[in-house]
Structure 1
Amino acid sequence: MRNCLLTLLSTFLVASCFGQRVAGRVVAADRSPIIGAYVIHLNSEHHTHSNELGYFELEGVAAGDSLRVTFLGYRTRVVPVPADNRELEVVLNESFFDLKAVTVRPDLRSLNVATDIDARLRPVNSAQDILRRVPGLIIGQHAGGGKAEQIFLRGFDIDHGTDVALSVEGMPVNMVSHAHGQGYADLHFLIPETIEKIDYGKGPYYADHGNFATAGYVNFSLKEKLDGSLLTAEAGSFNTLRTVGLFDLLDGPGSHAYLATEYLLSDGPFVSSQHFSRLNLMGRYTADLPSGSKVSVLASHFASKWDASGQIPRRAVADGSIGRFGAIDDTEGGFTGRTNLAGQFLRVVDRNTFVKTEVYFSRYTFDLYSNFTFFLIDPLNGDQIRQSEDRALAGVHSELQHAFRTAAGEATLKAGLGLRYDDNNEVALSRTKNRETLLERLQYGDIDETNLFAYAAADFEIGDLLVHPALRLDHFTFNYVDKLQPTYDRQEQRKTAVSPKLNFLYTVNDRTQVFLKTGIGFHANDSRVVLDRGADAILPAAYGADLGGIFRPSPRLHLNAALWYLFLEQEFVYVGDAGIVEPSGESRRLGLDLGLRYQLTDWLFADADLNYALARSVGAPEGANYIPLAPSLTGTGGLNVLQDRVSGGVRYRFVKDRPANEDNSIVADGYFLLDANVNYTLRRLSLGLAGENLLGAEWNETQFATLSRLRMEPEAVEEIHFTPGAPRSVRAVVRYRF
């Protein structure tokens, strides 16, 4: 009995001495929270990370013990554990860029550290160039710079957004039931200098992202405040001119406001000038409220117009009818615009609980003139088509996040609820001539589409193992009024998708993490096709799995690798001149992602990403089961220099040859490109020079296997039609901060 009492007393004393809990918050010098800072107890190597509010808690410490706090881009601090129970405030000051500060976080989105590193090393060029910072994501422009980019990721030709969900501050970019194509995602309303962070994830494993998030998602967070005002002027090849202004309007102790503007002009390298112009305006106001709560309001406007040479057939260039930068129909082009109003409210209940609510409204217009087949359908007037729409988009999304402790360890619960409503009027597909004459209406109507969704996800830390179960529920209502019918007839269809996820992350230490991610996602079909085909083709599911890891074999080397698999119940092929979406059956993809970030010296950095994918249709015979334009091998990388006054780098990107049709009898050519930039800073003034396609490669930015007929041809020909990539070009940049 005496021995039992002594044992209990000893246990109590040990718990009293070593069972203290320390709580704190990690902030930057301006008191903004630092998310994901690594906090380690030096005596025991026990560690944790700061949450989205900057808070952290650590068990098993004693007064006088030391905590080391690190975060990429900030000076490491060692702080003592206080004798009382007061909350620590750890202020980190910015420092030189050192990859030794990178740690492996026990978080489903831990791969985001790659974009965090890249954002600090690589200069901002354009909104579409920002997408290239997502490892493995390739883009191509094929209509004068004003049309949304074609996207390639994980063996997908995603067209303009059918299988990757894009958003800005939680506001969706993808347009459902769009006049040009399902999921059309025009990111040109985003001013790249206003971007604070890129959050991305590959695969259908994230409950807070629903429609289109099959190959992955990308969300852009914008700056809440500026470090100072900025004026930028750029001038370059092809009569290109770009100006940017960022103006710090308010920088008080509890509120911030700024205005951002961008204006871009370019003729492009084509024989027929693009006459491209784009204007962006954006303003944001953020106010800090008591207890850490915060409210933010954002407003923006974007307008763009362009002429486009469009896609041209190989045979016309080969026989000398036109040059590589010539045109068959140089009356193509269009104009588009988007006005956004968005608000965010972060309500902090306590240090472990907060609710984030996002609300948005957008007014969007689109008018595009294209000619894919030239004189195949109408030998007299040509095959020009017009696609147009006038859309209002509104939505709200609210998420509760609560951290708590279980008997096994720490846990976090996330639960969200939201609504998106699209009111898309006068969605039209018409045959036109020279943009002026309306020859025939092929499709004309009004679309209403509603998406109500809810989800719940949890992180359970069991020692070094993180278990992440999640479930998402989406309910859609599709409505269409066909204005070409003689009488009013509203058609309606409803469908619900259930998307479970289950993910495991095992963090061996701050240098090694392995993960297994599994989940089901979906991409919705176009409302007009839904109503034509019936309920079975509305929300085809995607089944995915990732097995991989993050490794830091040395302090300044960061590696990641993943084997992945994705099965889709149905692919979509948009037929622009017919205004229909053709389902093309089931597909299967598997691949390998590899990434490297390495700091060779204090000022020299290297990075490389290599992505392989094997994409095949299911059920088609061998040799005729290729998925057109699906990239099999892509890569990007380069060297970057970062010093006090001098910065710059050399970068490459390549795409391997890939099939352009189902039997690989028509091949889309690959390419290898080399770009470079250099910048010199003198106090507030920065001078830069950038060069693209330094090797002068003749490359095709986008390519399609298309059946077309030229005016004097007796028969139609199917072959590669392409938009030529830009030749060698240079651009000078001047920046002034004040």
Structure 2
Amino acid sequence: MAHAAGVPTLQEVTVSIRSQDLIGVADSATEGTVTAKQLANRPLLRPAEVMETIPGMVVTQHSGDGKANQYFLRGFNLDHGSDFSTHVMGMPVNMVSHGHGQGYMDLNFLIPELVGSVKYRKGVYAAEDGDFATTGAARIDYQRQLANAFVDISLGQNGYRRALAAGSREVGGGLQLLGALEIAGNDGPWQQPENLKKHNAVLRLSEGTAAKGFSLTAMAYEASWTATEHVPERAINSGEIGRYGALSPRDGGKTHRYSLSGEWARPDQDGASKAGFYVINYGLNLFSAPSGFINGPQGDQHEQADARTVWGGQASRSWFLGPAFRDSELTAGIQLRQDRIRSVGLYRTEDRRRTDTVRQDKITETSASLFLEARTEWQPWLRSTVGLRHDEVDARVTATGGEFNLGNGGKTRAGQTSPKLGLVLGPFQLLGATEFYANWGHGFHSNDARGATSAVNPVDGGAISRVPLLVKAKGSEIGMRTMPLPGWSSSLSVWQMDLASELVFIGDEGVTEPKGASRRHGLEWSNYITAAHGLIIDADVALSYARFKQANADNGGTRVPNAIPLTASLGGTLDPGGNWFGGVRLRYLGAYPLEETGQEKSTAFLLTNLKLGYRIDPRLQLTLDVLNLFNRKANDIEYWGGACTRSETLLGSCGGGIDGRLVHPLEPRTLRLSLRASF
């Protein structure tokens, strides 16, 4: 809190484990802010790898670059986003009751060069965070103005090409207008060229800052692609397909995301007010054949289609309660979201042509939330955060297609009250400035509304059980932050998470599959070092232990498949302001169980990416990205499941599918050269 003419007003504060002034600001050991400076020299294969700046987060892909990435954090296979909440400029990215998977979080529309900050919080401890924020939440904001307009042209191996033009200017009265246009394409190393075509545009009008000002942002994104899906490893080993070959042609899809959003914030003598709104038009047509040829030589391709409009907003008010209440800050807020899903469906297809409707539905899903949060400094060395959140979710499902699906549908409603508590002790002069944290809270993720209203399996007409609309999560952690030496910030945390059910909507089958309750715990250690002028080093290690509370009925195992027990990263960027600059990043993924017994495991690997840049003059620079520097032959993702190759089906050896390892290989060493001209 600051004082102007004797009147208290809010300051804009950056909460960051990546800063030397973090002590006395943060509410937990595992929250922080990543800045544009930290992203500038970071080598990236995909836009969503911006999320790997969150310590312990892993971003992979098992399909084409137009599909949402796969995410891993804290012993969770987040699939495409089911247990991590992300907002971009106040807009939710996770999609409820989605055609491919619950919480589908497609970040391919991100333009990394425009990202101004990534604010993240792990766990269920913040009252502002609701659906999907079980492992945590991130809020991504674009910059409001750029130092210089620029044009960036990139070319690379395997048909990679990208053009980005961006700039901003003052248009009068303190208003800033920012615009950007991106056009990109890529074929990738795949024997079946990816033929990615991507168009992206941003237009943003703003005034002031995020803490005192407003912004109005229009965005448009479209993409189409041909995908090489994960394949049975035995098909590669036998030579039926090459390492970068595909089982079936014409997988892939097209997607779009058009949005308009606005945010406003204003401090005053009594506190601060914030408000925002958004409208999103979204669509996806995704063609996949993850099981190959189980059903015959024509292949098992299906289409998952989703067409919706999402609208909503949020508003909050903070009050300073004064000395009588120990200068506590009280915040109250409301959030509203509605997904009007015109059509969400699953269709059998051949060569992207629909041959049969498995299920097709129309859904209106509305969520409304209220939250309260109070921050109090009881002593100079003791402060607390107490929060309470209540969510109500209402869904109406109308079946519009599918032979066995027409009896499904109906209305469902659920609510949850989620308490939160945080304590901070310090700062103490122990190993430098040090604070200790303890956090506890409840949260949830929603299930697909179709799973909560369906009693009939749309594939075969068999009876199935309805599932709860909301799944409760309970978490706790203790941790510390310290600055043992000037320029070195370090945080250590031990956490635990209980999830009432691992229910997952299986978009490939149109049903919700119950997985049982689970418990996870782990340890995280994160470090950020500014060792010299222009040199930034970060190092993170995350350990996790994930188990089902009851053994699997078929094999007796309790391991949670695809829960990564060990991740580590080490990175450095150097930019002293001269001609040369660059960055290097190493990422290690430990072996993880592929099925409940843990007998089948993935292969651990280390991946290294490099960026090297040279400023020809102050307005012209050249950069080279070398991705997978040492050409490591490993797999981006591995699963265990049933599938058949074409030859297995033709030979009659397939049956109902052959269980085995399903893999999607890492892309080989790839060079990309970029030329940027600033104006």
TM-score w.r.t. structure 2 length? Answer: 0.91
Instruction: Kindly indicate whether the alpha-carbon contact (under 8 Å) linking 2:225 and 2:253 is maintained by their aligned counterparts in 1.
Output: yes
The corresponding residue for 1:312 is: 231
Q: Which amino acid aligns with 1:459?
A: R
Task: Please list, as runs of the form range in 1=range in 2, the aligned pairs for 1:698-709 lying within 5 A after superposition.
Answer: 698-709=633-644
Structure-1 separation of matches of 2:253 and 2:439: 42
Q: Tell whether 2:469 aligns with 1:538.
A: yes
Q: Secondary structure at the match of 1:193?
A: helix
Structure-2 separation of matches of 1:546 and 1:317: 43
Distance of aligned partners of 1:118 and 1:667 in 2 relative to their CA distance in 1, 3 Å threshold: farther
Task: Please list, as runs of the form range in 1=range in 2, the aligned pairs for 1:5-16 lying within 5 A after superposition.
Answer: none
Instruction: Kindly indicate whether the alpha-carbon contact (under 8 Å) linking 2:414 and 2:469 is maintained by their aligned counterparts in 1.
Output: yes
Q: Which amino acid aligns with 1:629?
A: N
Q: Secondary structure at the match of 1:712?
A: helix
Among 500, 505, 512, the residue aligned to 2:434: 512
Structure-1 separation of matches of 2:356 and 2:467: 32
Q: Secondary structure at the match of 1:264?
A: strand
Q: Tell whether 2:502 aligns with 1:568.
A: no
Q: Deviations over 1:526-571 (max 9, x none)?
A: 0000113778622111000010010101111111000000000000
Structure-2 separation of matches of 1:50 and 1:308: 53
Single out whichever of 294-303 and 616-625 deviates more from structure 2.
616-625
Using the TM superposition, give the Cα deviation of residue 51 of structure 1 relative to its aligned residue in structure 2, in angstroms.
4.2
Single out whichever of 661-670 and 405-414 deviates more from structure 2.
405-414
Using the TM superposition, give the Cα deviation of residue 222 of structure 1 relative to its aligned residue in structure 2, in angstroms.
1.4
Task: Please list, as runs of the form range in 1=range in 2, the aligned pairs for 1:472-621 lying within 5 A after superposition.
Answer: 472-484=389-401, 491-509=410-428, 511-532=433-454, 537-620=468-551
Among 318, 324, 331, the residue aligned to 1:414: 331
The corresponding residue for 2:461 is: none
Q: Which amino acid aligns with 2:672?
A: R
Among 668, 676, 689, the residue aligned to 2:624: 689
Q: Tell whether 2:555 aligns with 1:637.
A: no
- Of structures 1 and 2, the one with the larger relative CO (CA 8 A, separation 6+) is 2
Using the TM superposition, give the Cα deviation of residue 331 of structure 1 relative to its aligned residue in structure 2, in angstroms.
1.3
Q: Deviations over 1:418-463 (max 9, x none)?
A: 2100011221101110112x22111111011000111000110112
Q: Where does the alignment leave 5 or more consecutive residues of structure 2 unmatched?
A: 456-464
Using the TM superposition, give the Cα deviation of residue 53 of structure 1 relative to its aligned residue in structure 2, in angstroms.
4.1
Among 644, 665, 673, the residue aligned to 1:732: 673
Among 360, 374, 383, the residue aligned to 1:458: 374
Distance of aligned partners of 1:576 and 1:233 in 2 relative to their CA distance in 1, 3 Å threshold: same
Instruction: Kindly indicate whether the alpha-carbon contact (under 8 Å) linking 1:100 and 1:555 is maintained by their aligned counterparts in 2.
Output: no
Please give the root-mean-square deviation of Cα atoms over the aligned residues, in Å: 2.5
Structure-2 separation of matches of 1:674 and 1:485: 47
Structure-1 separation of matches of 2:262 and 2:527: 37
Q: Which amino acid aligns with 2:57?
A: L
Q: Deviations over 1:652-677 (max 9, x none)?
A: 00101111111123222222111111
Structure-2 separation of matches of 1:426 and 1:295: 34
The corresponding residue for 2:315 is: 398
Instruction: Kindly indicate whether the alpha-carbon contact (under 8 Å) linking 2:641 and 2:661 is maintained by their aligned counterparts in 1.
Output: yes
Distance of aligned partners of 1:131 and 1:252 in 2 relative to their CA distance in 1, 3 Å threshold: same
Q: Percent identity?
A: 29
Instruction: Kindly indicate whether the alpha-carbon contact (under 8 Å) linking 2:9 and 2:269 is maintained by their aligned counterparts in 1.
Output: no
The corresponding residue for 2:458 is: none
Distance of aligned partners of 1:686 and 1:110 in 2 relative to their CA distance in 1, 3 Å threshold: farther
Structure-1 separation of matches of 2:520 and 2:9: 36
Q: Which amino acid aligns with 2:488?
A: L
Distance of aligned partners of 1:431 and 1:99 in 2 relative to their CA distance in 1, 3 Å threshold: closer
Distance of aligned partners of 1:503 and 1:226 in 2 relative to their CA distance in 1, 3 Å threshold: same
Number of aligned residue pairs: 650
Using the TM superposition, give the Cα deviation of residue 407 of structure 1 relative to its aligned residue in structure 2, in angstroms.
4.4
The corresponding residue for 1:653 is: 587
Q: Deviations over 1:371-424 (max 9, x none)?
A: 011121x21421101000110000010011223333474321111012100011
The corresponding residue for 2:100 is: 180
The corresponding residue for 1:39 is: none
Single out whichever of 186-195 and 358-367 deviates more from structure 2.
186-195
Structure-1 separation of matches of 2:155 and 2:162: 7
Q: Which amino acid aligns with 2:612?
A: V
Structure-2 separation of matches of 1:351 and 1:221: 27
Task: Please list, as runs of the form range in 1=range in 2, the aligned pairs for 1:265-344 lying within 5 A after superposition.
Answer: 265-287=185-207, 294-344=213-263
Q: Secondary structure at the match of 1:317?
A: helix
Q: Deviations over 1:500-527 (max 9, x none)?
A: 1011112324821110010000001100
Q: Secondary structure at the match of 2:450?
A: helix
Q: Deviations over 1:675-728 (max 9, x none)?
A: 111112221112111111111111111221120122332133111111111101
Structure-1 separation of matches of 2:304 and 2:237: 31
TM-score w.r.t. structure 1 length? Answer: 0.84
Using the TM superposition, give the Cα deviation of residue 117 of structure 1 relative to its aligned residue in structure 2, in angstroms.
8.9
Structure-2 separation of matches of 1:602 and 1:194: 24
The corresponding residue for 2:608 is: 674
Using the TM superposition, give the Cα deviation of residue 250 of structure 1 relative to its aligned residue in structure 2, in angstroms.
2.6
Structure-1 separation of matches of 2:371 and 2:192: 50
Task: Please list, as runs of the form range in 1=range in 2, the aligned pairs for 1:81-96 lying within 5 A after superposition.
Answer: none
Q: Where does the alignment leave 5 or more consecutive residues of structure 1 unmatched?
A: 1-20, 26-48, 55-70, 74-97
Instruction: Kindly indicate whether the alpha-carbon contact (under 8 Å) linking 1:569 and 1:585 is maintained by their aligned counterparts in 2.
Output: yes
Structure-2 separation of matches of 1:100 and 1:185: 28
Structure-1 separation of matches of 2:414 and 2:330: 28
